[in-house]
Structure 1
Amino acid sequence: MHPSRIPALAFVADLVAVVVFAALGRLSHAEADSVLGLLGTALPFALGAAAAWATPWVRSAPASLRAGAVVLAGAVVVGLVLRLGFLGRLPLSFAVVATISLAVLLLGWRGISAAVARMRAPRTPTR
């Protein structure tokens, strides 16, 4: 893969992860399966993830676990604050589940990507 494509693909992967998180949450609560509902659920967290992408920590190595941690922090903090502002409540259980779920998704694809890159890397002979 050409290195210039990595940032765009990583950004898309992060947005997909946030939408998957929102879709799974809506499914687990048997909420209506409308596209607008899904986007409304995902939007606060997507805004947080996008804000994290404005930082040099993410832009310098977007597929790294460090970048994933920054995107996770942005998505969780901004997403939960906006959710609290929109709904006027923020159950602790939701905050915990959202944080864990987003961590699995945002860090998970990066871990898989790193493992695949290591497997594809040319091996140097050991003495």
Structure 2
Amino acid sequence: MPTPVVAPRLALITAAADLILVLVFVLIGRGSHDEGFTLLGTLNTAWPFVTGLALGWLVSRAWRAPLSMRRTALPVWASTVVIGVILRAVSGQGVAVSFVIVTLLVLAAFLFGWRALARLVASRRTRREAHVQH
């Protein structure tokens, strides 16, 4: 079955949204531990998760169905968490069980949540446009 063509703009917006939300997760975490905002500190905390996010996008070919929960959100989330935690561990950053649980939950809420909202808005818009045409 051929893959539907997705506008490059949608894929770019989706990638940017994922990246922004991963950075928001990092900033919230740093703030909750009184680490404050410094560019180097933020980059040091973010790079494992950004790497996991990028690998998730590549492996899942997220640009083909950027709003898909199963084909994109699930593998991107799993990769972001698993690769992010592994890279944090091997780079000497903390990976306490409580941190891993919070990471799982917050990134799930962020990476699935915004897609769920986008899909809801798109489906309502499609229904409204179909209703107007009839």
Q: Under a length normalisation based on structure 2, what TM-score does the superposition of the two structures give?
A: 0.85
Q: Does the residue aligned with 1:71 lie in a helix, a strand or coil?
A: helix
1:16 corresponds in structure 2 to 20
Q: Does the residue aligned with 2:37 lie in a helix, a strand or coil?
A: coil
User: CA shift at 1:55, angstroms?
Assistant: 2.2
1:73 corresponds in structure 2 to 78
Cα distance in structure 2, aligned partners of 1:82 and 1:41: 10
Q: How many residues align?
A: 124
**Where does the alignment leave 5 or more consecutive residues of structure 2 unmatched?**
1-5
User: CA shift at 1:56, angstroms?
Assistant: 4.1
Q: Under a length normalisation based on structure 1, what TM-score does the superposition of the two structures give?
A: 0.89
Cα distance in structure 2, aligned partners of 1:47 and 1:88: 15
> What percentage of aligned pairs have identical amino acids?
36
1:58 corresponds in structure 2 to 62
Runs of 4 or more consecutive aligned structure 1 residues displaced over 3 Å after TM superposition: none
Residues 60, 76 of structure 2: 8 Å contact kept: no
The 5 A counterparts of 1:83-122 are: 83-87=88-92, 89-121=94-126, 122=129
Residues 60, 75 of structure 2: 8 Å contact kept: no
Cα distance in structure 2, aligned partners of 1:84 and 1:104: 23
Residues 44, 82 of structure 1: 8 Å contact kept: yes
Q: Which has the higher contact order (CA 8 A, sep 6+)?
A: 1
**Where does the alignment leave 5 or more consecutive residues of structure 1 unmatched?**
none
Cα distance in structure 1, aligned partners of 2:8 and 2:24: 26
User: CA shift at 1:34, angstroms?
Assistant: 0.5
Structure-2 change in CA distance of 1:117 and 1:36 (3 Å): same
Structure-2 change in CA distance of 1:56 and 1:94 (3 Å): closer
Cα distance in structure 2, aligned partners of 1:36 and 1:68: 28
